[in-house]
Structure formats: C-alpha cells, structure tokens
Amino acid sequence: MGCSVTTQAGDSAGAGDAGSGGRVAAIGPVTLGAEQRAELVRRSGAVAGRLGAAGVTMVALCWIDNSGIARVKSIPLGRLERAAGWGVGMSPVFDVFLVNDDITTSKYIGGPDGDLRLVPDLDRIAVLAGQPGWALAPVDRYTQEGRRYAGCQRSFARRMTGEALEHGLTARVSFEIEWALGMEDDGRFVPACAGPAYGMTRVIELSDYGREVVGALERQGIVVEQFHPEYAAGQLEVSVATSDPVGAADESVLVRQTIRAVSARFGFQVSFAPSVVAGSVGNGGHVHLSIWRDGKNVLAGGPGRHGLTSDGEAFAGGILASLPALTAVGAPSVASYLRLVPSHWAGAYQCWGQENREAALRLVTGSSGEHDVRANLEVKCFDLAANPYLVVGSLIAAGLDGLRSGATLPPETSGDPVGIAAGDLADPDARRLPQSLAEAAGHLERSAVLRGAMGEPLFEAFLAVRKAETELFSGVSPDDIVARTRWRW
Ligand code: GLU
Ligand code: MG
C-alpha cells in the first residue's frame, strides 16, 4: 500500500532563505515572497508526481488547534501546486475553538474577521497507509501577506528549534503514544480486548490488528521501536524513534491518525483522551528529549550526577523549574487532571529521578555501553490532549531558560513521592503539580518564560482556551467530563 515521500526536514527552507545555513534549514521559510512561492510551486511538481504514482488523489492539510484537536482542510492532488505556493484559506478563529467546538475569544485572536493561508510542508507529506488514496501534510500558517502567522503553533516549534541552534544545541524528540481501543455502549467504554495488562493474551486477541497498525506505520516511513499492551483496559502503546523536534510533533500526529484509520477498518473506536474511564489509569503522552552539542549528548558523559554535563543539568533544571506552567501546555484539558494523579505512573510531582516513573521528569540513562546515545529526559506529566508543537517549543524554551540562568537540579527523588513525608524527601521542593486546569493555567499566566517564547497572540489565545474550558466543565462530574471528552482527540 502506502509508501513514504517524507524527506529530510532540512530541505524545508525556501529558495529565498538559501545560504543562511543550518538554522534556516531547520526553521523553514519565514516569509513567502515571490521567489519562495515560485520555488515551492516548482518543487510541488515532483512531490505531486510521487504522490500520484502512489495512488494518492486527496491531500489532507492538517493542523492542531489549541485544544489539541486535529483540524483539516483537504484538496484534490491537482490543487497541490497552488496550495504549495499560496496556501489554502482558513479563518484564525480556529485558534480559540474549545474541545467541544464552542468558540471563545482572546485579546488578539478571535471573531469572524481575517483569513490565513495553510501552506503544506512539502518535505513532510506522507502517503497514508491506513487511508488508501490519501496523503497527509502538516501545514505552516501564513498571513495573506506571506508572513508567518503569530498564532501558528508549528512555526513556534520551528522558531524554538532555531533558538536552540543559536546556542549550538539540537534536540532529538519522540512522543510515546498510548490509546484505548474499544467501542462505546450506552455511554460506557467497552474495551476491544479482555487480556491482562502487558499480557500476551491481548496481543493474541488483537493479532491482525496489531500487525496492521505497525505495518501501516512502517509503510509510512515511521521507525516503530515497540508495540505493547498497556495497563488500563483495552490500552495499547507504540514507541517510535526520535526525530528533530518539529518532525517528532509531525510524527505524533501522523501516528495517531494512522492508528485511528486502521482501527476504523477493524470496527474499533480509538481514544487518545487523558482519561477514558474516570478513576482508572489514563493515556499519557510522555515526551523523550535529548540535547546534543557538537554531536555529543549533553545528558551523558559529564562529571555530574548520572553523567550529566553542566549543559545537560542546566537544560533539565530549566524544564523542572517551569514544570507547573508547562503542565498547562502538556496537560491542557480539564480531563488531563483526572489522569495526573499520584501512583498512576503519570508523574504528578515536580521532581526528577533516574528511572523514577513517579517523577514528572525521569532521567533515562540507558544500559551501560550506550549511555552516550540513549540518555534522555522523559517528561511524564503530559498527555495527548496537548498540541505537540506547543509541547516541543515550550520544552525547548524552558530548557534554554535553564541554560541562560545556569540552573541546577535539586537532589533527586527515588520512590513514589506520595509515600514520603515532606520532611523526609531529599528534594524539599518536590511538590504536587497543579491539580486542576485552572491551577495550571494560573502558573502559565505568570510564566514570563513561556509568554516571551510563544509571543503575546499565541500565548493569549492558548490561555483563553484554557480558561474557557475550565468554565465549560465547571461543576461537571468526573464521569461526565470523561463522557464528553473521551472521543475528542
Ligand atoms: N498510562 C500512564 C500515563 O498515564 C503511563 C504508563 C507508562 O509508564 O507507560 O501516563
Ligand atoms: Mg506507557
């Protein structure tokens, strides 16, 4: 079936940016002038040829809104040339859509006026193995004047990738994808399999399905590292290899849409929601992140704890310090706080620890002999209601803030912090992360780091959606929050 036409992200600079080196290659064209448009139109011919040869007739131009929902406009393949240079129209009002499709407003963005252009990233178009005849293209959003739109989350992730490069740093990122497979019956979630957590029984019950999910991902050029049954009823997980930050966010979207499409063919519904059954273990969206300088992983081979270099510790310290505000970005839904509870491997405490699955920041050091390539930071408190572009951009922003301020890490936490009396914790500052979206949004609102990094229009729109969703679910019971959000992502 499908094949990948994904190429190196480094190709994504427009002609007008040529000669500006690696930074521009990573962040893509900042403005679309006549030269850039002409070059993109020219390049779209070869891409359309490859897509056509793979049987594609439709291209889904997909972006993720501030509620973490994948929204789309689709074009017939014959319109790709036009879309590559000029984009496809879309209202900015989608930046203030809520999880239930209600619409709020914000200081700079909202209301019926204006139009934006969705410009497909030609280097990231994937032929969809689970939807024959379709391809999926992530988009950057531009103004009608050809400038990067200030509310564009993918552009924010590109910009932060560029800032890291200015510090001589590159990041490698991957998102773990957990989902619950089943159906809904009379408002209840009915799992697609009955076997135990991590049980081979589940793999046998879902043998054809599991093979097809992994096969479809691989046919799209995704490197699948693992597929396994998770803890909760009907819950499964795939892990994929790392990519550059924007590429990892693109892949997390592609992986989820592929899982959804394959599941539909098997007659199943998919929930990536933070909470699928109130009170049970939910779906995480853990992010793995390693930081590299001059080809070396700064999280290994240094004189610090567990081999951290001073850069590695400062970057991790920056993330740890900003975690309460980052939680609003990575756990952005009211439902997120039904998942983010202690003793559920969700990382509900602002602390770090080597291989500690109850610490929001887990330092993964890997096996001896490969620490240098394997060491990474796992941010566990995030879920898949998050916009992955905001996640990677915000993590880099927080890490770079740590570098600038020379942040250090407090003593590490081992064991489940919930079971340790506050006075006995090695890290006296280890505390519960926000316990509600309202609390997290308060931390975000006060975060100069994230406000400055996102820029006012994006920051205010994202914050307004958090506040409106808090209001939307005010006084609603956990069961009803879950029932109203289970199938939204
Ligand atoms: N499902 C858990 C969560 O909500 C994570 C389980 C794991 O450690 O993979 O994050
Ligand atoms: Mg897992």
> Does the Cβ of 339 fall within 6 Å of ligand 1?
yes
* Ligand 2 center–CA 286 separation, angstroms: 8
Task: Give ion ligand 2 contacts, CB < 5 A.
Answer: 237
**pLDDT class of 27 with cuts at 50, 70, 90:** low
Mean pLDDT (whole number) for 84-88: 96
**pLDDT class of 21 with cuts at 50, 70, 90:** very low
Classify residue 167 as exposed, middle or buried by CB count within 10 Å of its CB (0-12, 13-18, 19+): middle
Q: Atom 3, ligand 1: which residue's CA is nearest?
A: 284
Task: Ligand 1 pocket test: pick from 174, 179, 231, 349 the residue with the most ligand atoms within 8 Å of its Cβ.
Answer: 231
Q: What is the number of the ligand closest to the CA of 280?
A: 1
> Does the Cβ of 345 fall within 6 Å of ligand 1?
yes
**pLDDT class of 110 with cuts at 50, 70, 90:** very high
Q: Residue 380: what pLDDT?
A: 98
- CA-to-CA distance for 383 and 380, rounded, in angstroms? 8
Three-class DSSP category at 164? helix
Nearest ligand 1 atom to alpha carbon 339 = 4
Measured in whole angstroms, the distance separating CA 279 from the mean position of its chain's CA atoms is 24
Residue 3 has pLDDT above 50, yes or no: no
Q: Which residue has the tokens 């959003």?
A: 141
Q: Atom 6, ligand 1: which residue's CA is nearest?
A: 345
Mean pLDDT (whole number) for 398-427: 90
* Choice among 98-102, 181-185, 291-295, 423-427 with the minimum mean pLDDT: 423-427
Q: Atom 10, ligand 1: which residue's CA is nearest?
A: 284
Quick one: tokens of 235?
């819950």
Nearest ligand 1 atom to alpha carbon 284 = 10
* Choice among 47-61, 109-123, 422-436, 467-481 with the minimum mean pLDDT: 422-436
Rounded mean pLDDT of the chain?
92
Q: pTM of the predicted model, to two decimals?
A: 0.94
The predicted-structure confidence for 264-292, as pLDDT tens digits, reads as follows 999 999 999 999 999 999 999 999 999 99
Nearest ligand 1 atom to alpha carbon 347 = 10
Nearest ligand 1 atom to alpha carbon 357 = 8
Higher per-residue confidence, 419 vs 77: 77
Mean pLDDT (whole number) for 293-302: 96
Give, in degrees to the nearest 5, the angle at Cα 362 between 366 and 169: 75
Q: Residue 360: what pLDDT?
A: 97
Q: What is the CA radius of gyration of the chain?
A: 21
> Does the Cβ of 346 fall within 6 Å of ligand 1?
yes
In the chain, % of residues over pLDDT 90: 87
Closest CA to 340 of 354, 352, 328: 328
Residue 431 has pLDDT above 70, yes or no: yes
The predicted-structure confidence for 327-360, as pLDDT tens digits, reads as follows 999 999 999 999 999 999 999 999 999 999 999 9
Q: Residue 427: what pLDDT?
A: 85
- CA-to-CA distance for 231 and 474, rounded, in angstroms? 30
Residue 369 has pLDDT above 90, yes or no: no
Residue 211 has pLDDT above 60, yes or no: yes
* Ligand 1 center–CA 8 separation, angstroms: 31
Q: Residue 16: what pLDDT?
A: 29
> Does the Cβ of 178 fall within 6 Å of ligand 1?
yes
The predicted-structure confidence for 471-480, as pLDDT tens digits, reads as follows 999 999 999 9
> Does the Cβ of 357 fall within 6 Å of ligand 1?
yes
Give the DSSP H/E element, type plus range, for residue 264: helix 245-265
Residue 46 has pLDDT above 60, yes or no: yes
Residue 29 has pLDDT above 90, yes or no: no
